[in-house]
Amino acid sequence: MAKITICISGMAGSGKSTLAKRIAERYGLNYFSGGDALKRLAMEKGYEPRNNGWWESEEGSRFLEERERDKSFDRRVDEDLLWMANKGNVVLDSWTMPWLFKGEAFRVWLKASLEVRAKRAAKRDRMAPKSIMQTIKQKDYRTRSIYKSLYGFDFGDDLSPFDLVLNTDRFDPDEVYELVSKAIGLYIKRLGKVSSMG
């Protein structure tokens, strides 16, 4: 049977983590999150990334500064992600794998405006959208800079690796799930046919 690797990516607040977990459950695949892996490394350094909005918190910002100074955090996570991608039968919730993994995979980019992402993050973290918008904007810029300096790709701007780009501003989470599930189902079906021919 062909190995299935699904990469789901998008800016913070685009809904990628929620979607990736649901897709993994639907198709009986393992789930691995780059963000969760980074949080585990943060805990090793004495941070306490316990709540949902930790990345937008003052402590989350301090860890981002540490990542900017020491790129080994991101390299370690990406090595684990690449291992998982090569092993297959996994859904990767990742900012980097659509660009870094060169093997067979279905790559999804969830597009969302800054305003919508801020509203979602504010609802999740019980904050005012205006106060969180600037934080997200800064985080976007700094995250892009990390990946540009590490790997040379333009995170969020270069969408050439993706098989599906979906504007999540236009759909609620259930509709996004149904649309992406349908596309992945067709991909898995085609992958099975190709595998049986090979």
- The structural domain count of the chain equals 1
Residue 71: inside a domain: yes
Residue 197: inside a domain: no
Reported as a single tens digit per residue, the pLDDT across 18-72 is 999 999 999 999 999 999 999 999 999 999 997 777 888 889 999 999 999 999 9
Residue 134: inside a domain: yes
Supply the pLDDT for residue 192.
Answer: 82
Residue 183: inside a domain: yes
Residue 150: inside a domain: yes
User: Closest Cα partner for 108 from 6, 3, 5?
Assistant: 6
Residue 198: inside a domain: no
For the domain that residue 178 is a member of, what is the CATH number? 3.40.50.300
Residue 103: inside a domain: yes
What domain range includes position 24? 5-190
**Which residues lie below 8 Å from residue 81, measured CB to CB, with a gap of 6+?**
32, 34, 37, 92, 94, 96, 97, 100, 101
Match 């649309």 to its residue by tokens: 179
Distance in angstroms (rounded) separating the CA atoms of residues 146 and 129: 25
Residue 18: inside a domain: yes
